[in-house]
Amino acid sequence: MSLEARDCSPLDPQPKGAEVEWLKRLAVATRDGANVVSIGPERDEDEPIVHCLPDGTWCAGRYVGSVAFEGSRLTVRPRFGIAALQNWLFHATNVALVESPGVLREDESFIVQLLAAVWARGFAEAARHGLPALRHDARFTGSVLRGRLDVQNSIRLIASGGEAVASVRREKSLDHAASRAIVAAYCVLREWVGSNNGQWLSSRARELLPHLIAVTGLRPRIPSRAELEQVRYTPITAGFAPVADLSRQIANRRGLASDAASDGKCQGVLLDVAELWELYVLAVLRRAAGGLTVRHGTRELAAAGTLLRSAVDGAGLGLLRPDAVVMDRSRTVGVLDAKYKQLHPTALSPNGPKREDLYQLAAYLTRFGGEPGGAWGMLVYPFDPARPDPPLAETRSPWLLDPLAAVAFMTLSHDLEPAAAKLRGAIFQIRAHERPRQAL
């Protein structure tokens, strides 16, 4: 059995009989997010890769990729096409996918390229301060001490009639499970993507990888998850932890260039498109914000806060981490959240925005807009070429939450410059609308 779908869209055709039962088991098998690859260190809570609406319609979630389970496979392709995701990735991460000769196809070759780009960026970010050289105890036996005396083993050596002593010295080494996973993943990616003269790697990665390969060899043994969990990183090398885990998945060829799994385990790699959309929207906002400061709420602790605070001891409750907080000097003037959904009305959301998203935005403005002058809020959705007319929630923006807080909804183009121009105009409009009310 092989099913195909578009992310955040109903399956077409809708599954029947055995397909429905298989999708139910697949949704349970993947609900822990173990198959999801993150572009950054923080992600929203995982959602099912497939789910059934109250009316019985089966839909795909916000991920793209391929998973195999019980001898069958589900492949989820990007609903806005390859070019859109390729453009988002470039502007969000400054990583350009290497195009093979000919036309890009919506198949596993693109997922491989996207995965390779994510891995290469993660490795380059983690290696900004160097390779993951970790300290370990090196033991020596001889007539000269190298480090501190190993009393117990030295007594044994002397008791046996020898003249040598044992010693221990802390040394840095690249020979550990994380290095082996990274090199193993590099070898697999090079096989999948093709050498392309290493163009899919940054110059920094091309410089550092030979040093790892010299230690581990070209075909290192792939470490287990338990081995990676035993690696003790320093604060400087902590960024290699997610890279090593992703590398282990890639090295095991999970879900790409492999046959469907028949051992009852779910295999595959899924990329969180919602996270990629969030990073793209941040890039657009930074281009559109002008002299305003943009802070990433899910990455910067200074842009996070709690909804409630205890009157007894000041403890916080209800962590709030908006995608972006916009500041004018030290004052918060706006809060923005990227939604990888559709803004047009649906049967479940007849007004466009989902109820839980409105509640979320109201909570953000309660926490971040409480300063004098208030703050505006905005929910941003991807433009759908299949439905080019502006949604009603957008044409009627801005909306008023209270006398000092205005809210806007809008869709953004998949191209940076038009998107930035539209967002810049929306920010100007909503701030101009606020000034007369603030003077009241």
Banded model confidence at residue 349, pLDDT cuts 50, 70, 90 = confident
Q: Are residue 95 and residue 188 in the same domain, yes or no?
A: yes
Instruction: Report the distance separating Cα 108 and Cα 57, nearest Å.
Output: 26
pLDDT of residue 434: 59
From 272, 303, 334, the end of a domain falls on 272
Alpha helix positions (H), 101-202: 108-126, 151-159, 177-193
Instruction: Report the distance separating Cα 280 and Cα 418, nearest Å.
Output: 13
Q: Are residue 307 and residue 255 in the same domain, yes or no?
A: no
Banded model confidence at residue 14, pLDDT cuts 50, 70, 90 = very high
From 115, 143, 173, the end of a domain falls on 173
Looking at per-residue pLDDT, the higher value among 31 and 389 belongs to: 389
In a domain, 202, yes or no: yes
Alpha helix positions (H), 94-176: 108-126, 151-159
pLDDT of residue 9: 92
Instruction: Look up residue 304 and give its amino acid.
Output: A
Q: Are residue 207 and residue 223 in the same domain, yes or no?
A: yes
Banded model confidence at residue 258, pLDDT cuts 50, 70, 90 = very low
Q: Which of 102, 126, 113 is nearest to 40 (CA)?
A: 126
Q: What percentage of the chain has pLDDT greater than the value 70?
A: 83
- pLDDT (mean) for 52-73: 88
- pLDDT (mean) for 28-32: 78
Lowest model confidence (mean pLDDT) among 51-55, 128-132, 262-266, 363-367: 262-266
Q: Are residue 232 and residue 300 in the same domain, yes or no?
A: no
In a domain, 283, yes or no: no
Instruction: Report the distance separating Cα 42 and Cα 374, nearest Å.
Output: 28
Q: Are residue 259 and residue 191 in the same domain, yes or no?
A: yes
In a domain, 281, yes or no: no
Instruction: Report the distance separating Cα 29 and Cα 50, nearest Å.
Output: 11
Q: Which residue has the tokens 């496979």?
A: 73
In a domain, 224, yes or no: yes
Q: Are residue 140 and residue 201 in the same domain, yes or no?
A: no
Looking at per-residue pLDDT, the higher value among 145 and 3 belongs to: 3
pLDDT of residue 173: 81
Top-confidence range, 145-154, 160-169, 280-289 = 280-289
Q: Is the pLDDT of residue 327 over 60?
A: yes
Task: List the domain range (segments joined by +) for residue 430.
Answer: 289-438
Q: Are residue 110 and residue 197 in the same domain, yes or no?
A: yes
- pTM above the 0.85 mark? no
pLDDT of residue 436: 52
pLDDT of residue 10: 92
- pLDDT (mean) for 238-252: 85
In a domain, 22, yes or no: yes
In a domain, 382, yes or no: yes
Q: Are residue 392 and residue 346 in the same domain, yes or no?
A: yes
In a domain, 90, yes or no: yes
Tokens of 402: 């209270």
pLDDT of residue 102: 36
In a domain, 277, yes or no: no
- pLDDT (mean) for 173-188: 90
Instruction: Report the distance separating Cα 427 and Cα 414, nearest Å.
Output: 19
Banded model confidence at residue 430, pLDDT cuts 50, 70, 90 = confident
Q: What pLDDT digit, counting tens, does each position of 64-101 carry?
A: 888 888 888 888 888 998 778 878 877 876 555 444 33
Q: What pLDDT digit, counting tens, does each position of 101-131 carry?
A: 333 344 556 667 777 877 888 888 888 888 8
**Length of the chain in residues, anyone?**
440
Number of domains in the chain: 3
Determine contact, residues 255/65, Cβ cutoff 8 Å.
yes
Lowest model confidence (mean pLDDT) among 29-33, 39-43, 54-58, 413-417: 39-43
Q: Are residue 73 and residue 222 in the same domain, yes or no?
A: yes
pLDDT of residue 339: 95
Looking at per-residue pLDDT, the higher value among 418 and 30 belongs to: 418
Determine contact, residues 409/352, Cβ cutoff 8 Å.
yes
From 240, 272, 304, the end of a domain falls on 272
Q: Are residue 138 and residue 225 in the same domain, yes or no?
A: no
pLDDT of residue 109: 61
- pLDDT (mean) for 253-268: 54
Q: Is the pLDDT of residue 262 over 50?
A: no
Top-confidence range, 93-107, 117-131, 162-176, 377-391 = 377-391
Q: Are residue 217 and residue 90 in the same domain, yes or no?
A: yes
Q: What's the mean per-residue pLDDT of the chain? A: 81
Looking at per-residue pLDDT, the higher value among 118 and 361 belongs to: 361
- pLDDT (mean) for 269-282: 87
pLDDT of residue 32: 66
Q: Which of 32, 70, 64, 37 is nearest to 48 (CA)?
A: 32
pLDDT of residue 417: 93
Q: Is the pLDDT of residue 381 over 90?
A: yes
- pLDDT (mean) for 273-297: 89
pLDDT of residue 336: 94
pLDDT of residue 366: 84
Lowest model confidence (mean pLDDT) among 5-14, 193-202, 242-251: 193-202
Q: Are residue 187 and residue 141 in the same domain, yes or no?
A: no
Residue 244 phi, psi (nearest 5): -65, -40
Lowest model confidence (mean pLDDT) among 34-38, 203-207, 241-245, 415-419: 34-38
pLDDT of residue 104: 37
Banded model confidence at residue 195, pLDDT cuts 50, 70, 90 = low
Q: Is the pLDDT of residue 200 over 90?
A: no
Q: Which residue has the tokens 């390969």?
A: 213
